[in-house]
Amino acid sequence: MNMRRAFYIGRFQPFHLGHYSIINSIARDVDELVIGIGSAQKSHEPRNPFTAGERVMMIRHALEDADTTHYAIPIEDLQRNAVWVSHIISMTPPFDIVYSNNPLVIQLFREVGIEVRQPPMYHRNNGYSGREIRRRMIANEDWKSLVPPAVADVIEEIDGVGRMKQISKTDID
């Protein structure tokens, strides 16, 4: 099987149109794509509201019509950067190339000699960032235009906005 498989990782809190456009652009270069769902053990936190399972749903539904075969794999944090690449490799189908704009991810893969490419990030100018989407959810501003429709459906089904608002309330002590 002389196919080309790429790895792309994110926290996807939530999966948005920026991720979607990056994946589409990667898909043009490879046969299969492994999507790592980082910090899989985290949820119900202001920066990480959604569970890994909910994020698997978002990704699978958003990419339903994509031509490229993709694998959505939850990856738990190990809190040990020096073994992180091995951890990724053990949890995923083998890949030839990594796409990432995260400086640490780039450094870790390069140190072990794996090729890393940086996908274009034009989309951040347009608010396509998890942080911005989470802020809008709390502020009752429009966030649905920043995610694929299938993701908005998943978030509504689980009342993700209600959860986001509740866990963002401050508590003292």
User: Which positions touch a second copy (CB under 8 A)?
Assistant: 10-11, 13, 40-45, 51-54, 56-57, 60, 71-74, 76, 78-83, 85-87, 89-94, 101-104, 106-108, 111, 124, 129-131, 163, 166-173
Min dist CB 151 to a second copy, Å, is 13
**Residue 6 in contact with residue 95, Cβ under 8 Å?**
yes
Number of H helices, E strands in the chain: 7, 5
Min. distance of Cβ 105 from a second copy in angstroms? 9
Q: Which is nearer to a second copy, 28 or 169 (CB)?
A: 169
Minimum CB separation of residue 136 from a second copy in Å reads 14
Tokens 């508590």 -> residue: 171
DSSP strand pairing (5-10 vs 69-74): unpaired
Helices 149-157 & 52-62 angle (0-180, nearest 10)? 150
Nearer to a second copy, 66 or 83 (CB): 83
